[in-house]
Chain A
Amino acid sequence: MNHRFITVGILPVAIALASLGTEPVAVQSNPSAAKTTGAGAVWTAPRTADGQPDLQGIWDFRTITPLERPRSLGDKAFFTAEEAASFEKDENTRQNRDLIDPKVGGLNYPAGGVIPYNEVWYDRGDKVVKTRRTSLIVDPPNGRLPPYTPEGQKKADRRAKEGRDTQLGHPIADSWEDRPLQERCIMGLNAGPPMTPGPYNNNVQLFQSPGYVVVFTEMVHDARIIPLDGRPHLSIRQWRGDSRGHWEGDTLVVETNNFKRETSLPGSSANTHLIERFTRTDPDTLLYEFTVDDPTTWTRPWTAQVPMSRSDQPIYEFACHEGNYAMPGILAGARADEKAAVKGTK
């Protein structure tokens, strides 16, 4: 991990979901922890002192596999090794911010806009997921988000327009409330729930103590402490919702609802019921799967899989709010634009 950002505010970037794996491992849609290795022995997840499957460690979820399968790939759910190498080569070129001419545009940057971060800031990884799936979404089977509801569509259209305005240097910023939660340092870009690979700080550490699992994401120093004792959900709403966990065999299942406004997924609603599944599939892989049931936004539930790789790198402090020079800059810029516009009309 070459680039870590310790005390940097999040700048306004339209983020494509992306992330990393190393060696390809075949993983089933509903994985079981017991797995046959090449030698024919069955691998079983190690246990904690109190007998739970041990999910602990620092896990790296960088990848350039997109959330949605590119339309050009049609029904193709998996790459061959050669196709994966070729996709990686093309995608790493396409994603490289230093190769995008602002006059021409590229990725989600419109022509004539600004490329706010150059390539040195990114740590998205440069590999497809080790399953070699062509998308993180595994259901619907076409690897694409299901159709929006009318309300979801309206929000998506508005978001697309706002994204274009931002990239063209005119963000909507009457106040901070017009800016995404990530720019306000209330939520991390990728911290979830659910965790989704993003541009940098794709690291999470899992802790287990009797009765709890903690999902501790580097961004934005978020420790989600999940009780496993079957207690009822809260009757209040929180930004990260309210998570409760239980074991199904060797899989940790975490159910979250009571979101305050949205999940970390762009366009989602407070009405989301989220199910996350964590399964060790080999000594160096944690398979993370999540199902989003948000009937306000999408016409059916959908599921994505992110195989995470064991990392030997420590988690650092991401003090986002404390270093948020971007927010006063964005707001002051918008006020300066207004002044200039008034002068221009006089």
Chain B
Amino acid sequence: MPVRLQRAFIAVAIATAATIPLFANLIASKAQVSQARRTADGKADLNGIWQALNTANWDLQQHAAQAGQVVALGAVGAVPAGLGVVEGNEIPYLPDAAAKKKENFDRRLTADPEVKCYLPGVPRATYMPYPFQIVQTPNYILMAYEYAGATRTIHMDKAPPSPADSWMGHSVGRWQGDTLVVDVTSLNDQTWFDRAGNFHSDALHVIERYTPLGPDALTYEATIEDPNVFSRPWKVSMPLYRRLEKNAQLLEFKCVEFVEELMYGHLRKQPGK
């Protein structure tokens, strides 16, 4: 592998491994659920800084630990094991799509859009190893993700039609009791679900559900529909944890500058040439 490629990949890998938060006392009870925090307009209060604590971004499905792809990174670049977040663990690919997934996996070092710091899409943004912040207002809910400074706005009152497909899609939300249900459409076909090459087409439709599990945890569920790629809808689910540090805040992870050598290095002026 060219040195420049290794360098850039190391930067991404180290940055993503460096955000392991501390969590405590997150055991929820029925009593806590009924006492979910409320906003002034009486909705469940989802405001806060949240983070998944799993390895779904490496692979949605159950997987054993394995070596990374960059020899120089050793244990730092290795893939941590995971129980998986897919209900039933099976992703129901159509036959051609299953072959494409395998090809993606083989090419993942160069083909995963995360390597290039591209916007992550939905639902991947939720379970990347970075925090994200929910800013809840009656008419709009802003989701701001630390990774790449990605953002999306959930339209609650009236949603204008989506003008075009985009990386983070078009989100329309509604409340079902204390659950925020978000319909995400108009997603382009450029994003993946994880670093293992799980993918979708631009027919992707994601239905997300955010439900308070206690004052400091949410249950996140995403139902995935894409008739071009999957034989039936399937679902991921996981808890999200509140970042409880007193001074918690999103910091910048503007990763463009970490991938320019990787993407444009071959166009750098070569002295003497």
Contacts and interface: CB of A to CB of B under 8 A. Distances in A.
Interface of A: 4, 6-7, 49-50, 56, 173-176, 184-186, 205, 207-210, 212, 214, 216, 220-223, 225, 227, 231, 234, 236, 238-240, 314-317, 319, 321-322, 327-328, 331-332, 334-335, 338
Q: How large is the interface on B (under 10, 10 to 19, 20 to 34, 35 or more residues)?
A: 35 or more
7 contacts: A6-B166, A49-B41, A174-B269, A184-B256, A223-B151, A317-B167, A319-B166
B interface majority secondary structure: loop
Contact of B269 (A223, A314, A338): A338
B149 interface: yes
B136 interface: yes
B137 A321 contact: no
Contact of A184 (B150, B151, B260, B269): B260
Interface string B248-273: 01111010110010011001110000
A221 B120 CA distance: 13
A173 B155 CA distance: 42
Contacts of B153: 205, 216, 315
B269 A175 contact: yes
A65 B8 CA distance: 43
Nearest to A51: B40
B256 to A, nearest CB: 5
A134 to B, nearest CB: 36
B135 A238 contact: no
B252 A240 contact: yes
A56 B136 CA distance: 12
Given A6-B166, A49-B41, A174 B256 contact: no
Nearest to A319: B167
B256 A185 contact: yes
Contacts of A225: 133, 135, 144, 249-250
Contact of A327 (B155, B164, B264): B264
Interface string B142-181: 1010001111110100001001101110000000000000
Contacts of A4: 163
B105 interface: no
Contact of A221 (B149, B190, B250): B149
Contacts, number: 108
A225 B257 CA distance: 21
Interface in B29-63: 39-41, 47
A243 to B, nearest CB: 10
Interface string B76-107: 00000000000000000000000000000000
Contact of B256 (A186, A221, A334): A186
B190 A223 contact: no
B155 to A, nearest CB: 8
B33 to A, nearest CB: 21
B118 A321 contact: yes
Contacts of A209: 47, 135-137
Given A214-B142, A216-B142, 17 more contacts: A7-B166, A49-B41, A50-B40, A184-B260, A221-B149, A225-B144, A227-B249, A234-B251, A238-B252, A239-B254, A317-B119, A317-B168, A319-B167, A321-B256, A328-B267, A331-B268, A332-B267
Nearest to A312: B160
Contact of B40 (A49, A205, A316): A49
B247 interface: yes
A52 to B, nearest CB: 11
Interface centre among B136, B260, B263, B269 (most CB of A within 10 A): B260
A7 B40 CA distance: 37
